[in-house]
Amino acid sequence: MPVATFEMPHQVSGLQGSLAELQTRVVAGKPDLVVLGGFEQNDELLEKIETLCTALPRAAVLLVCSNPESGFLLRAMRAGVREVISSDAPDAVTAAVARAEARFHSAPQASRKSSRCIGLMPAKGGDGASCLVANLASELSQTDNLRVLLIDLSLPFGDVELFLTRDTAMHNLADFADEIERLDGALLEGMTHHISANFHVIQSPQTIDQLLHITPRYVNRLIRIAVEHYDYVLLDLQLDTLSLSVLELLDQLVVVVTMNVPSVRRASQIIRMWESLGYAAAKLSVVVNAFHNKSIVRIADFEKTVGLRVSRILPLETDGIEASLLRGTAAVRLKPKSDFSKSINAWAAALTGHVPTETSIWQHFGIK
The pLDDT tens digits for 104-127 are 654 444 443 568 999 999 999 999
Mean pLDDT of 48-65: 80
pLDDT (0 to 100) of residue 9: 52
Q: In the predicted model, is pLDDT for residue 363 greater than 50?
A: no
The pLDDT tens digits for 283-306 are 999 999 999 988 999 999 999 999
Q: How far is it, in rounded angstroms, from Cα 150 to Cα 146? A: 13
Mean pLDDT of 336-363: 80
The pLDDT tens digits for 19-56 are 677 667 777 667 888 888 888 888 888 888 888 777 77
Residue 289 dihedral angles phi and psi, to the nearest 5°: -110, 155
Closest CA to 279 of 104, 118, 80, 135: 80
pLDDT (0 to 100) of residue 103: 59
Closest CA to 131 of 315, 356, 365: 315
Map 114-133 to HEC letters.
Answer: CCEEEEEEECCCCCCHHHHH
Q: How far is it, in rounded angstroms, from Cα 292 to Cα 289? A: 9
pLDDT (0 to 100) of residue 105: 56
Question: Which of 39-43, 316-320, 359-363 has the lowest average pLDDT?
Answer: 359-363
Q: In the predicted model, is pLDDT for residue 98 greater than 90?
A: no
DSSP helix/strand/coil, 314: strand
Mean pLDDT of 185-190: 90
Comparison of pLDDT for 66 and 21, the residue scoring more:
66
For residue 17, what pLDDT band results from cuts at 50, 70 and 90?
Answer: confident
pLDDT (0 to 100) of residue 311: 96
Averaged pLDDT score across all residues of the chain: 86
Tell me how far CA of residue 331 lies from CA of 35, 290, 295, 343, in angstroms.
44, 14, 22, 12
